[in-house]
């Protein structure tokens, strides 16, 4: 979720969003400055593109098909972008004001028949979050190996990733945004971690260990695409 997205949401800035703001303004090496300019230029010239890396966007633009069915945890420009290119999408959002904005766009663009859009006010910062179970259970309501693509870009990212792995068809895509904040890599993106950040991430990596992985990076953030091969 880049700073631009945080501004568009007009929501109170939580700890997770603060990490992105900090990343964009506190790593001003020459290399990072060039990377950031590249990201901003891509966002300006592709105003309808999902907030993913340019490489991930290019891959998805190539492989998604009109008959595909998908799920996303975390809505936004990706919701409209996916819905205009595929047959059906289940989308989950936790912020009410953002939900209303995206819902309005869905109606304006005539995509209501393609998107099952749900508002679930989960709050990962609340250890007693009463909506956590409802949020995570959306994945459990869908048939195994029924989805062509899944985007994990919302709350409880590690637990969502574990649950959605079973939903992806053979050859289907599991996309995790900002993956460098949770899983170690050789990425130069700021705040990239040196170790796996939770037991759930360890479980996820075990589930997808035989899948093909395409790890993309903008130097500002990373997007990983796992392709089911077993």
Q: Which pLDDT tens digit goes with each residue over 25-71?
A: 556 688 888 888 898 999 999 999 999 999 999 999 999 999 999 99
3-state secondary structure of 75: coil
> For the chain, how big is the Rg over CA atoms in Å?
17
Given CA atoms 182, 183, 187, 193 in this order, what sign does their dihedral have?
Answer: positive
pLDDT > 70 in the chain, percent: 88
- Percentages helix, strand, coil for the chain, rounded to the nearest 5? 45, 20, 40
pLDDT of residue 13: 39
What whole-number distance in Å separates Cα of residue 164 and Cα of residue 172? 12
What whole-number distance in Å separates Cα of residue 186 and Cα of residue 216? 11
Q: Residue 179's closest CA among 164, 165, 161? A: 161
What whole-number distance in Å separates Cα of residue 177 and Cα of residue 199? 19
Q: Which backbone phi and psi does 213 adopt, to 5 degrees?
A: -120, 130
Number of residues that this document lists for the chain? 230
What whole-number distance in Å separates Cα of residue 32 and Cα of residue 189? 8
**Beta-sheet pairing, 168-177 with 212-217:** unpaired
**What does the pLDDT average to over 178-202?**
95
Q: Judge whether residue 136 has pLDDT over 80.
A: yes
Q: Judge whether residue 6 has pLDDT over 70.
A: no
What whole-number distance in Å separates Cα of residue 98 and Cα of residue 103? 8
pLDDT of residue 26: 55
Mean pLDDT taken over the chain: 90
pLDDT of residue 18: 46
pLDDT of residue 126: 96
Domain positions in the chain = 3-227
Q: Tell the CATH topology of 3-227.
A: Rossmann fold (3.40.50)
**Beta-sheet pairing, 168-177 with 222-227:** antiparallel
**What does the pLDDT average to over 157-179?**
98
pLDDT of residue 31: 84
């Amino acid at each position: 979720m880049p700073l631009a997205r945080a501004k568009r949401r007009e929501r109170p800035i939580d700890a997770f969003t603060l990490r992105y703001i900090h990343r964009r303004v506190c790593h001003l090496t020459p290399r990072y400055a060039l990377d950031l300019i590249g990201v901003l230029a891509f966002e300006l010239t592709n105003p309808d593109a999902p907030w993913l890396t340019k490489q991930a966007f290019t891959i998805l633009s190539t492989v998604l098909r009109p008959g595909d069915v998908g799920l996303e945890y975390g809505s936004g420009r990706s919701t409209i972008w996916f819905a205009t290119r595929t047959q059906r999408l289940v989308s989950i959002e936790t912020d009410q004001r953002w939900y209303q904005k995206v819902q309005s766009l869905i109606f304006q663009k005539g995509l209501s028949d393609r998107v099952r859009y749900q508002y679930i006010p989960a709050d990962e910062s609340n250890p007693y979050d009463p909506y956590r179970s409802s949020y995570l259970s959306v994945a459990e309501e869908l048939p195994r190996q029924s989805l062509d693509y899944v985007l994990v870009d919302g709350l409880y990212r590690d637990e969502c990733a574990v649950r959605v792995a079973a939903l992806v068809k053979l050859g289907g895509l599991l996309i995790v945004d900002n993956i460098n904040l949770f899983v170690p890599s050789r990425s130069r993106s700021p705040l990239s971690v040196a170790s796996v950040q939770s037991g759930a991430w360890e479980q996820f990596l075990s589930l997808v260990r035989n899948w093909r992985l395409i790890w993309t990076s903008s130097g500002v953030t990373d997007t990983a695409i796992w392709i089911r091969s077993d």
